[in-house]
Amino acid sequence: MPTNTPDDNLQDEFFSDVFDTSTVATETDEDESAAPEAILPTQNLQKIAAPEVHDRGPFGRLMEANFLQFASYSICDRALPTVEDGLKPVQRRILHAMWEKDDGRFSKVAGVVGNTMHYHPHGDAAIKDAIVTLANKRYLIQGQGNFGNIFTGDEAAAARYIECRLTKLAREYLFSPKVTTYVPSYDGRNKEPVLLPAKVPLSLMLGVDGIAVGLSTSILPHNFPELLEAEIAILQKKPCPKLLPDFITGGVMDASEYNDGNGSVRVRATIEQRDKEKNKLFITSVPYGITTDRLAESIEKAIKTKKLPIRHIDNFTAEKVEIELSLTPGSDLEKVRKALYAFTECERKISSRIVVLKNNRPVELSVSEMLADHAQRLQEIFAAEFRVRLAEIDQLMIRKTLEAIFIENRIYKRIEMVKTAEAVAMEIRLGFTPFLDIIGHEVTDDEIEMLLKIPIRRISLYDINRHNEEMEALRQEHAQLTDDLGHLARYAVKFLKGLLKEYAKTYPRLTVVEDGFQAIDERALTSTELTLRLSEDHYIGYDIKQGTPLFPCSSLDKIYVVWSDGRYRFTPPPDKLLADATYAPDQAWLAALNPRAPVHYFTAGIYNRDEVFTCVYYEPLYGFTYIKRFTWGGMIMNKDYNLVPEGATVLLLYRGTPEKIYVKFKFLKYQRTSQWAFDPQKVRITSASSKGIQMTAKQIERIETKRPSWWTGSDSAVETASDGMLFQ
């Protein structure tokens, strides 16, 4: 073990007076049990070897212990459901509180919240939100009043205005107090269940999301009848069928990337075209987790960026989703439908990762493993219930046998003249002595007390035939339970088939499954949706109504803008960007630009990181002209870069590589050569920010990429880079 430094020793002395650190657990190699049990690694989570860390003193140990306690609490008591009953702690406490007060009638949610707070250490708002969420998932809580709208995202009314009660499914298949383990509540005044004996796979039915310290879970909801069918197959030792999520919001789902609870699904809204509405589309379902308001906002945003030819949106959603989209005349309905999936919230990707608590430890499971665990748990619940009932039947049969002997043999007559309690007990024991072989044990004091409490009316109206019928019924029940206890899987299958028959029609599949969504070429949908224009006051953008058209582009494109001083920028297609220059694409800028004049020219185009450009620029420091070929490479949006050194002027910016560059020099007395043609194809390709190679030291008057009218002589007579005119 590393020893404390002098500074740590001083820290120890200080904190020993301020904090009581004697009770703070320190996790060491010698005491591995100091770590909270709930966050120890499991067989599913590989342990990562941590580097050795020196003791940081009492404050460090205090913070470490507190953090571990907080992490353990958030993982085990808040965020993750248990694999045993599929519930989070707050959900378990809500259901237990409702069951305790359940009388079949609706109760105020505010009252349920108050009852739950006897078990739950959090505030009323968190409990109320959990109740609303469970009610909107249909299975366990039935709501009455305004519980919000899962389609529009409207919030529920205040807890004092709405009511709820347990559903028949929850009341019959979640509770069994005789086989439930209880522990004291957080304040020790009440008892709460450790786990509910849930006979249905709740976490897979409801769907669960949770974020803890270092862990998160996302369990997608599945169809209840399909889960029952899969669990039946598991109990019958058959392969578990493939299970796919089923969302309460419906929609269309592509589960090609979903594998037994891991991976992701893509969900689309249902978009209909109706015969009587020729120029309209109707959205009748939304993706899971998306509200109609959020969907409408995404559509409006796509309309503003010219991605959708939609004139008007009408949202008529109430109990069902109904969004009416009025298209511009002449729109292609199928193309608009694809654009809605591509550019709005009409399509959503939902990830799934099942992390749950198993034996109070976090583990990652699949859907089939979750169902296998529940199938085993279901058999254990039945076994516990059968044993409890068998014990009750044994006690009931003994009691009925004692009553029959006591009445039929008139043992009660023996105590008529007895005056003391001890003598009464003695007389009853003497009366039962001839029947000990039937009873199998000596009559106890409790049994004597029970016999003495039999009303005289019951003795006088005693029916031996009825007694025999009741005993026979108990024997048959005992035999049936004994048989079921020996064949738990068979009984569980019978139970699940009964559930399936009862609820198959109540909970049909809502989400339509497709083998795979057809790929949408977003760029093809938007290739010419925008047109950049240049206004008279030198603005460039697609929102400019009056101006010179430059080129069409897509809202998905990135645009480069290069000014004649070498400054350049990448940007999405702008709605309005100040260029403050004249548009001059792929031209010899020098033909109309004095290098000493202010910047007046720019060019723009669609960004392609691997596209090759040729640039010629003049640097006034030495009076040289340089050439380079480059590609844009990576970039940061809306950041200014420099294509040429500061103070230089771009003379030529050409997309691609011209065959030749024709140059005319300024006239100088005694100058032998007045023109040259350069071959740029031998210039190596570099990055946009690199410096070019020297092209010429002479002053250039004109520069072109095609043979100009001012050129004299033939091309065969000109000098090229191979003659050493370009300095590599």
Indicate if 654 belongs to the active site: no
Q: Are 588 and 662 in contact (CB under 8 A)?
A: no
DSSP result, 7-72: HHHHHHHHHHHH--GGG-----SS-GGGS-GGGS--TTSPPPPPPP----HHHHHHHHHHHHHHHH
DSSP result, 577-597: EE--SEE-TTSBGGGG--TTS
State the Cα torsion 334-337-341-347 to the nearest 10°: -120
Question: By three-state DSSP, how is residue 126 classified?
Answer: helix
Strand order in 559-563's β-sheet?
Answer: 582-583, 601-606, 559-563, 567-571, 640-642
DSSP result, 329-392: TT--HHHHHHHHHHHSTTEEEEEEBEEEEETTEEEEE-HHHHHHHHHHHHHHHHHHHHHHHHHH
Residue type, 486: G
- Of the candidates 73, 119, 161, 618, the residue annotated as catalytic is 161
Q: Rounded CA gap, 443 and 426, in Å?
A: 10
Residues 6+ apart with CB under 8 A from 292: 151, 152, 153, 286, 315, 317, 321, 323
Closest CA to 617 of 687, 692, 506: 692
Burial of 501 (0-12, 13-18, 19+ CB in 10 A): exposed
State the Cα torsion 461-467-469-470 to the nearest 10°: 110
Residues 6+ apart with CB under 8 A from 642: 566, 567, 568, 689
Burial of 408 (0-12, 13-18, 19+ CB in 10 A): exposed
In this structure, which long-range contacts are made by residues 53-57, counting pairs with CB atoms below 8 Å and at least 24 apart in sequence? Answer: 54/2, 54/5, 55/2, 55/4, 55/8, 56/8, 57/4, 57/7, 57/8, 57/11, 57/12, 57/15
Burial of 111 (0-12, 13-18, 19+ CB in 10 A): middle
Q: Rounded CA gap, 619 and 39, in Å?
A: 66
DSSP state of 717: G
Q: Rounded CA gap, 706 and 658, in Å?
A: 8
State the Cα torsion 228-229-230-233 to the nearest 10°: 120
Strand order in 323-327's β-sheet?
Answer: 271-272, 280-283, 323-327, 310-315
CA distances from 365 to 48, 112, 260, 547 (A): 20, 33, 9, 61
Q: Are 259 and 267 in contact (CB under 8 A)?
A: no
Q: Which residue reads 């707070």 in tokens?
A: 117
Q: Rounded CA gap, 210 and 75, in Å?
A: 9
Backbone angles phi, psi at 362, to 5 degrees: -75, 130
Q: Are 87 and 141 in contact (CB under 8 A)?
A: no
Q: Which two tokens stand for residue 193?
A: 């269940």
Closest CA to 292 of 338, 333, 249: 249
Q: Rounded CA gap, 205 and 354, in Å?
A: 13
Among all residues, which ones are annotated catalytic?
161
